[in-house]
């Protein structure tokens, strides 16, 4: 009887080990599949961000060609805003890894960070002395009448300080 019990325990142990190894194999397979799906999803997000950025660039180019400050576009002067400047260097990431709060890739000459309660995302603005920009981003320090202008050159951004400029809303894209 004792031998039969030992044989049964041994068989159960082998079955348990086999079951454990099958489970580990399934976990490894699922982890590989999850990694593969994550890579595919990241690629789709990257394509979406590039498409959105390209569409925004096209929109801004069309607007600049029309020179809306010289037309009868409905304008709303928001008054003086304090400006600051941010760069990929300050954000600690390479440009290709950055994206704005609206999903676009930040671009010098286009992207500004705003308080969305003051200037909604997607709004085209004219900043006196800096030109046309689109509200695409925000930041923890950007509250009220502050705008953070995206730039590539860290030293130039530092040299500009924190000036004030008149800001006019021209519309939404």
pLDDT in tens, 7-36: 445 555 665 666 666 766 667 666 666 666
The SS3 of residue 119 is coil
End-to-end CA distance of the chain: 84
Pairing outcome for strands 76-86 and 111-113: unpaired
In this structure, what CATH number is given to the domain that contains residue 55? Answer: 2.40.40.20
pLDDT in tens, 150-160: 998 888 988 98
* % of the chain with per-residue pLDDT over 70: 55
Domain assignment of residue 105, given as a range: 1-173
Instruction: Give backbone dihedrals phi and psi of 125, rounded to 5 degrees, phi first.
Output: -125, 155
Structurally, the chain folds into a number of domains equal to 1
């Amino acid at each position: 009887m004792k031998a039969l019990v030992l044989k049964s325990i041994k068989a159960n142990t082998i079955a348990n080990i086999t079951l454990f190894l099958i489970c580990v194999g399934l976990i490894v397979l699922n982890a590989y599949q999850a990694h593969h799906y994550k890579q595919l999803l990241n690629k789709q997000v990257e394509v979406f961000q590039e498409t959105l950025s390209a569409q925004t660039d096209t929109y801004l180019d069309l607007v600049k060609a029309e020179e809306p400050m010289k037309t009868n576009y409905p304008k709303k002067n928001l008054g003086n805003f304090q400006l600051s400047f941010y760069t990929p260097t300050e954000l600690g990431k390479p440009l290709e890894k950055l994206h704005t709060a609206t999903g676009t890739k930040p671009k010098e000459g286009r992207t500004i960070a705003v308080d969305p309660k003051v200037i909604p995302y997607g709004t085209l603005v004219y900043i006196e002395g800096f030109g046309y920009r689109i509200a695409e981003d925000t930041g923890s320090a950007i509250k009220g009448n502050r705008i953070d202008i995206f730039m590539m050159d860290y030293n130039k951004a530092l040299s500009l300080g924190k000036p004030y400029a008149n800001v006019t809303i021209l519309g939404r894209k």
